């Protein structure tokens, strides 16, 4: 028998025991046996108590240990519903083939085709509850929870979170997954222009992203499009110049002219050309107040052009406010403050349109508010010819005749009216030429104003 350590020095009378068992376990067994048989305290049941306590300690130790192990081996990621990634992730997961989920919820989207028909699509996204997916060989647990108590004050929807859990060694998958989700989301808006409009204090997507309006489809008089595009591009490249000089990095454009001359269409086409989105506000809408305007202009989604339509409305309001008391709408000073107050470090490109430039106060023409002014008028003969060729390609001679007739009629018509005539005589250039007289009838769309 070895007496290398203290344990082995205990005399073990019980011959049943395998005394030759030199292992640690065997020795412990021996001690316990010895204690049990020799110690009256144990015999009295105190031993049981100690054993129980020991077991309890051991159990809580195991629980603690497993918690520690869980913490060490498991990572989770929380995505909150106010984060952009939230809906990206849900859409991505709906498309992910390897998933087990029994709780689904439906998200309906409408798609407007070019031919005008609308189709409805139901996306089954993971609903609240537990889900499992297998991604790149790893299993991920996904839990979508809806808070019953907390409500997102901005849009009144319940506050939600998605929690992803996986093994620590697979944590890099979170990044890859979110990147994939983002790419998927961006793909659906690729080649599209998203139009945002105000909804309370925040910007909301207005309808589905629209196919970009082709830049060439808007026909303005010679040079107008090119000059504006060049100016905007130059502005966008000069961020450093502005920041070096401490000048707010913004530029304002004013397009003015009669209705239907293509102002709004041009801005949409320009946004498409620059791959920007549009944040559109209509100042003659009654509900827009100075506060909201200011807040909205300082919280624009990235890569977007701000489009303020009918800015003369703010000026009418000033006149009205004086005689009719307070009216909840944008005031002249509110507009100026909002334009001056844009503090974004990103570039801010503002386009404004009006049909009544004479109603604008000269104060808005100050640089920093409006830096570039462009008249967009009724169709010139050049525009008429270009539009004719756009609708009836290769009918060069008819286009010449059309322009001549138009000049002889001495009519000033808007490009929208020309478009109306061409749409009425679709695919029939001679008919458009023959019906040129109808422009006279449509002339004065706004004669009642």
Ligand X SMILES: *[C@@H]1O[C@H](CO)[C@@H](O)[C@H](O)[C@H]1NC(C)=O
Ligand Y SMILES: Nc1ncnc2c1ncn2[C@@H]1O[C@H](COP(=O)(O)OP(=O)(O)OP(=O)(O)O)[C@@H](O)[C@H]1O
Which residues are at the interface with ligand X (CB under 6 A)?
A: 113, 115, 117, 258, 282, 284-287, 309-310, 378, 412-414, 417, 443-445
Q: Do strands 250-256 and 372-375 pair parallel, antiparallel, or not at all (unpaired)? A: parallel
What residue number has its CB nearest to ligand X? Answer: 412
Residue 225 vs 263, nearer CB to Mg ion: 263
Please give the DSSP secondary-structure letter assigned to residue 142: E
Q: Is 278 helix (H, G, I), strand (E, B) or coil?
A: strand
The correct pick among 27, 131, 263, 369 for binding ligand Y (CB under 6 A) is 263
User: Which residues contact residue 270 at a Cβ distance below 8 angstroms, ignoring those fewer than 6 apart?
Assistant: 215, 225, 228, 229, 232, 305
* Smallest distance, ligand Y to C-beta of residue 125, A: 36
User: How big is the chain by its Cα radius of gyration, in Å?
Assistant: 37
Q: How wide is the angle at C-alpha 405 spanned by C-alphas 403 and 410, nearest 5°? A: 95
Rounded distance, CA 46 to CA 51, Å? Answer: 9
Q: Do strands 277-282 and 195-199 pair parallel, antiparallel, or not at all (unpaired)? A: parallel
* Smallest distance, ligand Y to C-beta of residue 318, A: 21
The correct pick among 277, 329, 415, 425 for binding ligand Y (CB under 6 A) is 415
Rounded distance, CA 350 to CA 279, Å? Answer: 9
Q: Per rule CB under 6 A, is residue 406 in the interface with ligand Y?
A: no
Rounded distance, CA 86 to CA 158, Å? Answer: 14
417 binds, among ligand X, ligand Y, Mg ion, none (CB under 5 to 8 A by kind): ligand X
262 binds, among Mg ion, ligand Y, ligand X, none (CB under 5 to 8 A by kind): ligand Y
What does the chain come to in residues?
449
Q: Is 223 helix (H, G, I), strand (E, B) or coil?
A: coil
Q: Per rule CB under 6 A, is residue 378 in the interface with ligand Y?
A: no
Within a 13 Å sphere around the CA of 139, how many CA atoms are in the beta-carbon half?
Answer: 4
Q: How wide is the angle at C-alpha 61 spanned by C-alphas 56 and 64, nearest 5°? A: 130
Q: How does DSSP assign 12-61, residue by residue?
A: ---TTS-TT--SHHHHHHHHHHHHHHH-HHIIIIIHHHHHHHHHHHHHHH
The correct pick among 419, 432, 433, 439 for binding ligand Y (CB under 6 A) is 419
* Smallest distance, Mg ion to C-beta of residue 284, A: 11
What residue number has its CB nearest to ligand Y? Answer: 262
User: What x/- string results for residues 309 through 348 when contact with ligand Y is judged by CB under 6 A?
Assistant: ----------------------------------------
415 binds, among ligand Y, ligand X, Mg ion, none (CB under 5 to 8 A by kind): ligand Y
From 41-49, 118-126, 212-220, 288-296, span contacting ligand Y (CB under 6 A): 212-220
Q: Per rule CB under 6 A, is residue 272 in the interface with ligand Y?
A: no
Q: Per rule CB under 6 A, is residue 252 in the interface with ligand Y?
A: no
Residue 113 vs 149, nearer CB to ligand Y: 113
Q: Per rule CB under 5 A, is residue 264 in the interface with Mg ion?
A: yes
Q: Per rule CB under 5 A, is residue 414 in the interface with Mg ion?
A: no
Contact residues for Mg ion, defined by CB under 5 A:
263-264
């Amino acid at each position: 028998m070895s007496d290398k350590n203290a344990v082995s020095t205990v005399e073990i009378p019980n011959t049943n025991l395998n005394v030759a068992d030199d292992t640690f376990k065997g020795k412990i067994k021996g001690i316990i046996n010895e204690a049990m048989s020799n110690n009256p305290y144990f015999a009295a049941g105190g031993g049981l108590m100690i054993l129980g306590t020991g077991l309890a300690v051991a159990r809580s130790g195991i629980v603690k240990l497993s918690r520690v192990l869980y913490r060490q081996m498991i990572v989770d990621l929380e995505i909150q519903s106010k984060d952009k990634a939230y809906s990206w992730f849900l859409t991505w997961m709906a498309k992910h083939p390897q998933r087990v989920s029994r709780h689904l919820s439906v998200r309906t989207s409408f798609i407007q085709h070019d031919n005008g028909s609308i189709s409805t699509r139901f996306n089954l996204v993971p609903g609240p509850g537990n889900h499992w997916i297998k991604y790149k060989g790893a299993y991920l647990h996904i839990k979508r929870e809806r808070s019953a108590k907390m409500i997102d004050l901005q849009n009144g929807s319940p506050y939600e979170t998605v929690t992803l859990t996986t093994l620590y060694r697979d944590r890099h998958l979170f990044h890859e997954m979110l990147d994939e989700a983002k790419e998927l989301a961006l793909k659906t808006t690729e080649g599209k222009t998203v139009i945002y409009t105000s909804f309370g204090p925040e910007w909301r997507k207005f309808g589905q992203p629209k196919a970009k309006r082709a830049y060439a489809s808007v026909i303005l008089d010679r040079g107008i499009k090119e000059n504006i595009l060049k100016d905007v591009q130059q502005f966008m490249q000069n961020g450093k110049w502005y920041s070096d000089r401490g000048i707010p990095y913004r530029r304002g454009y004013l397009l003015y002219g009669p209705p239907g001359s293509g102002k709004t269409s041009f801005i949409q086409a320009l946004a498409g050309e620059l791959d920007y989105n549009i944040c559109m506000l209509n100042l003659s809408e009654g509900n827009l107040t100075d506060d909201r305007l200011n807040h909205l202009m300082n919280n624009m989604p990235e890569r977007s052009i701000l489009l303020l339509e009918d800015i003369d409305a703010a000026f009418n309001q000033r006149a009205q406010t004086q005689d009719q008391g307070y009216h909840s709408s944008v005031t002249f000073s509110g507009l100026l403050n909002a334009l001056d107050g844009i503090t974004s470090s990103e570039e801010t490109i503002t386009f404004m349109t009006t049909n009544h430039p004479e109603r604008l106060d000269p104060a808005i023409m100050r640089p920093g508010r409006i830096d570039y002014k462009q008249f967009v008028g009724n169709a010139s003969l050049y525009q008429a010819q270009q539009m004719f060729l756009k609708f009836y390609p290769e009918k060069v001679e008819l286009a010449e005749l059309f322009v001549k007739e138009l000049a002889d009629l001495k009519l000033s018509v808007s490009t929208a009216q020309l478009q109306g005539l061409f749409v009425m005589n679709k695919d029939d250039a001679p008919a458009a030429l023959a019906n040129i007289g109808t422009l006279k009838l449509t002339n004065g769309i706004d004669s009642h104003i």
